[in-house]
Amino acid sequence: MIAERALKLTNKIDNYTSLKENKNQIVGLTSRRAELEETLEELKTAVAAARILVKDKLIPADQVPDQGALVESIKSLKNGFTKEVIFVLEKSNWDPYKTACQQWIEAITNTCQSSWAQHTDSFVPKRNEELLDILRRIPGLDCTVDKINDIYASIKTMIKKPPASEEELTEFKGQVTELKKLWESIGSDKIPEKVIEFLKASITEKGAKLDLLDDEVLGWIRENALKDIFCITVVD
C-alpha cells in the first residue's frame, strides 16, 4: 500500500518534471524561431540587394561572398533538429549558424555598399556648389538650379545604401538621367573658365568689367540664349 502510494507520487513527480521540461523546450523553440525569422529577413534584404546589382552588372558574379559555411550550418541545424528537437536549443549547435549568418550578411553588405558607392561616384554628375550658386542668381536659370538641387537632395538619400528592389534602382537611374538633362540644358559641363569668371563678376554689386566680355564669353551667352539677361551700364 505504502509502496503503491510512493510509486504514484514518483509518477506524479515524473509527469510534472516532464511537463516542465516540455514547457521550457517550447519557450526555447519559440525564441529560436523568432531568431530564425529575424536572420531570414536580414538574409532576404542582403540577397535582394546583391541580386539587383549582379543583374545590372554592378557587381561581378564572382565577387559575391562564398555561401559554403552558411549552407553547411543550416544543413547541420536541420539534420540535428530532425533527429532531436532540442538540438537547436544547444548553444554549441546554434552559434555556428548564427556566426556564419552574420559573417555572410556582413560580407555581402560590404560588397554591395562598396560596389554601389563606386558606381554612384562615377555615374552621378559632380555637384559644383559655387557654380550652382552663381547660376541661381542669373534670371531665368533659378528654377533650373532649384530643380537640380532638389534632385541632388533626393539622390543623396538614395546613394546611402544599395537599392533593395528593381523599382528603387529604376527610380535612381531616372533621377540621374533627369539631373544630366538639366545640367546639359544650361551647358554647365562645357562652361569655360572665362565664362565662370565673367558670371562671378556679373552677380557682384559692381558687375563685370567689359574686358571680361570677350568673344568666348559672348559666344557662350548667345549659345545658351542668355543675352537678354545682361546689360551694359555706366558706373561712377
Q: Is the pLDDT of residue 167 over 70?
A: yes
Q: Is the pLDDT of residue 1 over 60?
A: no
Q: Which of 17-31, 49-63, 164-178 has the lowest mean pLDDT?
A: 17-31
Q: Given this model, what pLDDT does residue 18 score?
A: 59
Long-range contacts of 115-120 (CB under 8 A, 24+ apart): 115/53, 115/58, 115/59, 115/63, 115/162, 116/53, 116/58, 116/159, 116/161, 116/162, 116/163, 117/159, 119/58, 120/155, 120/159
Residues 163-170 have a mean pLDDT of: 91
Q: Given this model, what pLDDT does residue 37 score?
A: 86
How much of the chain exceeds pLDDT 70, in percent? 88
pLDDT in tens, 104-151: 989 999 999 999 998 998 888 888 787 788 788 777 778 889 999 999
**Element housing 36 (H / E):** helix 2-55
Q: Which of 41-45, 182-186, 211-215 has the lowest mean pLDDT?
A: 182-186
Residues 20-40 have a mean pLDDT of: 80
Q: Which of 107-111, 179-183, 187-191 has the lowest mean pLDDT?
A: 187-191
Q: Given this model, what pLDDT does residue 4 score?
A: 47
More confident call, 170 vs 17:
170
Work out the mean pLDDT of the chain and round it to a whole number. Answer: 82
Q: Given this model, what pLDDT does residue 177 score?
A: 95
Q: What is the pTM of this model?
A: 0.67
Q: Given this model, what pLDDT does residue 188 score?
A: 59
What is the Cα–Cα distance from 51 to 58, expressed in whole angstroms?
10
Instruction: Specify the residue for cell string 506524479.
Output: 12
